[in-house]
Amino acid sequence: MNQRIAIVFLTIAAIVAGGCQKKPAPIVITPDVEKNHLQRNHIYGKVQEIESRIFYLEEDSLTLEDTARALETTERRCDNYFLHYYNPQGFLTSFLKFSPQGDTLLFRQYQYNQRAQISEWLEENPPTPITKGVYSYDRNHFLEGEKIYHGDSLVMSFAYKTDGIGNIIFSTQDNQQFITKSSYHYNEHGLVDTIREYEPDGKVFKLATIEYDNYGDEVNRCVYKAGKQLIEYTYNEYSQKGRNLKTIYEDKLHQNKEVKYYAYFDKENNWRVVYTVLNNRLVSIKKRNIKYY
């Protein structure tokens, strides 16, 4: 009898203990329309500044086994140098590109309205005239248009149609010579899963399908010509912590395969170095330093 009571007691205790175990945090997937620039680029934390340096290594004929030597070669002057600045809300405020000698090649600045929506950007690229992009929103505060000016001349305009929450479902691009159109479809989480690009005559020129994992991170992207022939394929591999470990891109038309390997992650799970391998040859190394608020 006492043995039976003990068994019942242990069973109840096990059930109670199981019920008291900490449940895993629910997975929250942010719809595309609600993402800031950092989230769109898979960057974590309250980022203030990103400094990026790219070193091209094609002349060295390096292979994957030469990674250590490649790192040594990056002590030389970089080939491309970029700075990105973000506000506390995670939106890009300015972007600069420098020459290997340190001269400013391009400067772009972004302005936002009171709803944290981009209102315009200005780009200086001496000696060419200033380029400007101006955005407009409808009465629901959803994006409806964008116009790009080069100096005083309108060079391109976009018109957008949105759904009930502000996702772009149709866009029209007019470059003053011809008009192209694109349509977008979203899954149940508000993430775009199908993009169709149309020729001026209305025929589908390109079709892209996108698949995501359970966390809302893009895994597979397939691009088809005329909706039938697979011409591009992209695959992303992630760790259990959400780190983007590897990206494989295949250009089926030109038989090129590019693989990016991400390494040296910081405390916010952002990579610090990416190695780009083209057709089994290491061709570039990109290093970035991230400052946080």
Rounded CA separation 146/85 (Å) = 23
Tens-digit pLDDT profile for residues 49-92: 999 999 988 665 666 667 667 666 666 778 999 999 999 999 99
Whole-number Cα distances in Å, 88 to 28, 47, 116, 274:
21, 7, 11, 26
Render pLDDT for 218-260 as a digit per residue (tens, 0 to 9): 999 999 998 689 999 999 999 988 899 999 999 999 999 999 9
CB 226 within 8 A of CB 232: no
157-184 pLDDT tens trace: 999 999 999 999 999 999 988 899 999 9
pTM: 0.85
Q: Which of 31, 28, 30, 27 is nearest to 186 (CA)?
A: 31
Measured CA to CA, the distance from residue 92 to residue 88 in angstroms comes to 10
Alpha helices, DSSP H only, in the chain?
Answer: 2-20, 37-40, 67-73
270, exposed or middle or buried, with CB in 10 Å at 0-12, 13-18, 19+? buried
Residue 226, pLDDT score: 84
Q: What SS3 string covers 244-281?
A: EEEEEEEECCCCEEEEEEEEEECCCCCEEEEEEEECCE
Which residues of 176-243 form beta strands (DSSP E)?
Answer: 179-186, 192-198, 204-212, 218-225, 229-238
Per-residue model confidence as pLDDT tens digits over 23-58: 667 888 999 999 999 999 999 999 999 999 999 886
97-149: per-residue pLDDT in tens?
A: 999 888 999 999 999 999 999 999 999 988 889 999 999 999 999 999 999 99
Measured between alpha carbons, how far is 286 from 53 in angstroms, rounded to an integer?
6
What are residue 17's phi and psi, to 5 degrees? -65, -40
Alpha helices in 53-190 (DSSP H): 67-73
Q: Are 97 and 106 in contact (CB under 8 A)?
A: yes
DSSP 62: B
Which among 251, 250, 256 is positioned nearest to 236, based on CA atoms? 250
Query: φ, ψ for residue 35 (rounded to 5)?
Result: -80, 145
Q: What is the average per-residue pLDDT within 190-207?
A: 94
Point out the least confidently predicted range of 81-85, 154-158, 276-280: 276-280
Question: Looking at per-residue confidence, does 208 or 73 come out higher?
Answer: 208
What CA dihedral angle connects 217, 29, 241 and 209, to 10 degrees?
A: -10
**Chain centre distance of CA 238:** 14
